[in-house]
């Protein structure tokens, strides 16, 4: 199992403690009372921080695993918002080929990601120069999610599906697309999506 970049410091302590108390259990079953909860934490982190390979989909792809919570037009942009559940893979990916022209970190609150007020949460805004113009990906922290951990920097040129970062223990990812360059939004509110695999929109080739 591949563990997401930047997450081994979360996995190693419960891993070592699980091995330690498993050994002690050979001498006394009393140590099971310590081994079991620590091992459960280890399993949770292994599931939460997994980073599987993906078959990259067509068109513009989902930047995050989760459920589509919002699709709307804001002036000349489409906003597509994905909420990540605890069981989802939390590594985010590039929705389209492009070059990172700006990354901005905004400190803020840690409210529930589906609340309207969550727009004031801590977030990282990634502006991407693409063949269809500027595309923005916004990684938002949430109630449990406390840290956005980027894998990229300004000036990087990336391919669709490349990993761009992880939101540790959460939460929500928004993508903004230019309306005049989009032929079709291929998902609807409530749809489950997988980052890198599922198509969220098709480009207007005209």
Task: Give residue-wise pLDDT tens across range 34-77.
Answer: 999 999 999 988 888 899 999 999 999 999 999 999 999 988 99
Q: What is the pLDDT confidence band of residue 106, given thresholds at 50, 70 and 90?
A: confident
pTM (predicted TM-score):
0.84
Task: Give residue-wise pLDDT tens across range 2-19.
Answer: 888 888 888 999 999 999
| Superfamily name and number for 60-203 | Glucose Permease (Domain IIA) (2.70.70.10)
Which contacts (CB < 8 Å, 24+ apart) does range 181-190 have? 181/132, 181/133, 182/60, 182/78, 182/132, 185/71, 185/78, 185/80, 186/59, 187/62, 187/68, 187/71, 187/80, 188/68, 188/71, 189/68, 189/69, 189/70, 189/71, 190/67, 190/68
In terms of phi and psi (left: phi > 0; alpha: psi -120 to 50; beta: otherwise), the region of 162 is beta
Are the C-beta atoms of 193 and 128 separated by less than 8 Å?
A: no
Average pLDDT over residues 136-159: 82
- Does residue 171 carry a catalytic annotation? yes
Per-residue CA distances from 16 to 3, 8, 13 (Å): 16, 12, 5
Catalytic residue among 33, 81, 171, 186: 171
């Amino acid at each position: 199992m591949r563990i997401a970049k930047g997450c081994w410091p979360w996995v190693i302590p419960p891993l070592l403690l699980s091995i330690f108390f498993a050994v002690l259990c050979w001498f006394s079953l009393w140590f099971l009372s310590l081994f079991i909860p620590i091992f459960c934490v280890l399993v949770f982190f292994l599931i939460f921080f997994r980073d599987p390979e993906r078959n990259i989909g067509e068109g513009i792809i989902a930047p995050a695993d989760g459920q589509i919570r919002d699709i709307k037009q804001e002036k000349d942009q489409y906003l597509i918002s994905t909420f990540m559940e605890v069981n989802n893979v939390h590594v985010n990916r590039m929705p389209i080929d492009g070059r990172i022209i700006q990354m901005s970190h905004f400190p803020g609150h840690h409210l529930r990601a589906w609340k309207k007020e969550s727009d004031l949460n801590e977030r990282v805004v990634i502006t991407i120069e693409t063949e269809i113009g500027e595309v923005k990906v916004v990684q938002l922290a949430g109630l449990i999610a406390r840290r956005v951990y980027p894998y990229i920097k300004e000036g990087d040129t990336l391919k669709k599906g490349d990993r761009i970062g992880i939101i540790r223990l959460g939460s929500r990812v928004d993508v903004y697309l230019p309306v005049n360059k989009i032929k079709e939004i291929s998902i609807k509110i409530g749809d489950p999506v997988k980052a890198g695999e599922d198509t969220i929109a098709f480009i207007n080739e005209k």
